[in-house]
Amino acid sequence: MKLNATSEMIPITWPEFAHIHPFAPREQLKGYELLDQQLCAWLSQATGYAGISLQPNAGSQGEYAGLLVIKAWHASRGEGHRDICLIPESAHGTNPASAQMVGMKVVVTKCDASGNVDLDDLRAKCEAHSANLAAVMITYPSTYGVFETRVTELCALVHQHGGRVYVDGANMNALVGLAAPGQFGGDVSHLNLHKTFCIPHGGGGPGVGPVCVVDDLVPFLPAHRSAGMGTDAQVGAVSAAPLGNAAVLPISWMYIRMMGAQGLKAATEVAILNANYVAARLADHYDIHFSGGSDKLKGGGVAHECILDLRPLKDSSGVSAEDVAKRLIDFGFHAPTLSFPVAGTLMVEPTESESQAELDRFCDAMIAIREEIRAVEQGRLPQDDNPLKNAPHTAASLLGSDWTHAYSREQAAYPVASLKLNKYWSPVGRVDNVHGDRNLFCSCLPVDAWR
Ligand SMILES: *Cc1c(COP(=O)(O)O)cnc(C)c1O
């Protein structure tokens, strides 16, 4: 997760930003108007696009808005029948969902063994659907953490068949300052200001998913007719407020303003370097999925994230990706993304915000965990009673007089020496995630308790 710097956050507490009603008279919104203009201009520079709307409140809403724009463009040329949206199987789930929402038909295309879009399959599907092709949605770098080396060729191919290219920009943290989707062939992208541009995004929001488009699509960007904004050509509002989640925009403004062009580029470079550092340090211990064409980084690097493939370990030891995620809590880490975009894996996106010492602390933990798994593989620890299966360990479970496990209390609590100096104690032991997800309950008092 990127750092959300205090200095970025402070302005959103100022009443001048915080206490403005979204439908206040236009003459009272001059400051927000300027913020909108400046932020859009900077984001245009970063993405290579001609026009931007800050209205969408999430990446997925940006996708929805962008696909509406593509639809409106086709319709404006008398080609409203074009409704096929090609989406590679590596896509984030919101891509097909958004395409469905705008009434397009999703056709899934294949990826090759290295995680790249399979261009032969894409070409075949472009040809098969040429008359009805509306768009392709790709993600660059992809959700598999891969820079598609043939992305310009891919864009040109789709254009040949009359479709437009949607480049999902959620992974722009690996591009800002280095490459621009509007320049390598994208027609529309969304950004996630709550990912790349520092708006905090724990717990589901608030997000901002600006939709960015090339020149000929600018006339179709979302309007807001009930706020008296926009032309008939434009697609309708995608958000209740004309400027979407305006109150958090100062965070991204501050980030860009303080970083400057040089700083943003350096952040991107360090983010890529950090992901590759983690991948390189862990490559002797884990399979790195989709790393530039071969396992163990031989064929090249990863992009902004690396996927640790734990599936082979499940077969050899019975230890699952979830067990590893829970064991990381004993080492003082909130686990990285679990089982996405590939089930049975951990996806690590360190960003530029972590120091090398912190990356090393994480890698040391993952290597120590690999050794624990090896002990299970070699039969030195039972499959059903080991530090991984029982993680996380609470202080209460370790301090009781009835310790009966096949490994020591010390192994449970202090698997690496540094934890003796600085230890996070989990307040609860293992919870059954699936049971919890399927059995929602209310933690508030029953109504009759208030009588
Ligand atoms: C996060 C993400 C999205 C969706 O963004 P939300 O703001 O969560 O709606 C879409 N595509 C990709 C690749 C993402 O990582």
73-127 residue pLDDT tens: 999 999 999 999 999 999 999 999 999 999 999 999 999 888 889 999 999 999 9
- When divided into structural domains, the chain yields a total of 2
Say if 305 falls within a structural domain: no
Whether pLDDT at 449 is above 90: no
Say if 144 falls within a structural domain: yes
Indicate the DSSP class of residue 291: B
105-109 sheet: strands from edge to edge: 51-53, 211-213, 188-190, 164-168, 133-139, 84-88, 105-109
287-289 sheet: strands from edge to edge: 287-289, 306-309, 345-348, 337-338
92 lines ligand 1 (CB under 6 A): yes
Whether pLDDT at 355 is above 60: yes
In terms of domains, do 239 and 327 share one? no
Whether pLDDT at 398 is above 70: yes
Domain boundary among 229, 244, 259: 259
CB distance 187 to 43 below 8 Å: no
Looking at residue 389, its pLDDT comes to: 98
Domain span at residue 389 reads 310-438
In terms of domains, do 356 and 252 share one? no
pLDDT-derived band at 301, boundaries 50, 70, 90: confident
Say if 297 falls within a structural domain: no
Say if 274 falls within a structural domain: no
- DSSP per residue, 134-202: EEEEEESS-TTS---TTHHHHHHHHHHTT-EEEEE-TTGGGTTTT--HHHHT-SEEE--TTTTT----G
Whether pLDDT at 296 is above 80: no
Cα(first)–Cα(last) distance of the chain, in Å? 45
Say if 147 falls within a structural domain: yes
In terms of domains, do 217 and 116 share one? yes
Calculate how far, in angstroms, residue 446's C-alpha sits from the geometric centre of ligand 1. 37
57 lines ligand 1 (CB under 6 A): no
In terms of domains, do 351 and 235 share one? no
Looking at residue 293, its pLDDT comes to: 46
pLDDT-derived band at 204, boundaries 50, 70, 90: low
- Report the percent of the chain where pLDDT is more than 70: 97
**CA distances (Å), origin 401, targets 15, 147, 393, 426:** 56, 54, 15, 19
Say if 354 falls within a structural domain: yes
In terms of domains, do 383 and 316 share one? yes
Say if 267 falls within a structural domain: no
Tell me the best of 67, 168, 239 to mutate to test the pocket of ligand 1, counting ligand atoms within 8 Å of each CB and taking the most. Answer: 168
207 lines ligand 1 (CB under 6 A): yes
Nearest by Cα to 389 from 421, 415, 408, 412: 412
Distance CA 200, CA 317 (A): 38
Domain boundary among 216, 240, 259: 259
* Least confident piece of the model among 141-145, 281-285, 381-385: 141-145
In terms of domains, do 95 and 212 share one? yes
Whether pLDDT at 209 is above 90: yes
139 lines ligand 1 (CB under 6 A): yes
Q: Give the residue, by CA position, lying nearest to ligand 1 atom 6.
A: 59
Q: What is the average pLDDT score of the chain? A: 94
- Report the percent of the chain where pLDDT is more than 90: 86
pLDDT-derived band at 160, boundaries 50, 70, 90: very high
CB distance 364 to 371 below 8 Å: no
**CA distances (Å), origin 220, targets 84, 190, 223, 431, 440:** 20, 15, 8, 49, 42
In terms of domains, do 175 and 318 share one? no
Higher pLDDT, 116 or 40: 40
In terms of domains, do 248 and 324 share one? no
Q: Give the residue, by CA position, lying nearest to ligand 1 atom 14.
A: 170
State which ligand 1 atom lies nearest to the alpha carbon of 63.
10
| Phi/psi-derived region of residue 381, left when phi > 0, alpha when psi is between -120 and 50, beta in every other case | beta
Calculate how far, in angstroms, residue 395's C-alpha sits from the geometric centre of ligand 1. 37
Domain boundary among 232, 259, 286: 259
What does residue 104 show for φ and ψ, rounded to 5 degrees? -90, 160
pTM score over 0.75? yes
58 lines ligand 1 (CB under 6 A): yes
In terms of domains, do 338 and 420 share one? yes
Distance CA 351, CA 173 (A): 8
Distance CA 8, CA 6 (A): 5
Instruction: Report residue 35 as tokens.
Output: 């913020």
Which whole number is the average pLDDT over 275-281? 95
Whether pLDDT at 295 is above 90: no
Condensed to tens digits (0 to 9), the pLDDT of residues 411-445 reads 999 999 999 999 999 999 999 988 988 998 888 88
Nearest by Cα to 192 from 305, 59, 93, 61: 59
In terms of domains, do 234 and 125 share one? yes
Tell me the best of 54, 63, 92 to mutate to test the pocket of ligand 1, counting ligand atoms within 8 Å of each CB and taking the most. Answer: 92
Which whole number is the average pLDDT over 205-225? 95
Say if 213 falls within a structural domain: yes
Whether pLDDT at 292 is above 70: no
In terms of domains, do 248 and 339 share one? no
In terms of domains, do 188 and 320 share one? no
**Secondary structure class of 435 (helix, strand, coil):** helix
Which CATH number fits the domain that encloses residue 418? 3.90.1150
Calculate how far, in angstroms, residue 35's C-alpha sits from the geometric centre of ligand 1. 24
Which whole number is the average pLDDT over 354-360? 97
Whether pLDDT at 297 is above 80: no
Which CATH number fits the domain that encloses residue 103? 3.40.640.10
245 lines ligand 1 (CB under 6 A): no
Looking at residue 299, its pLDDT comes to: 55
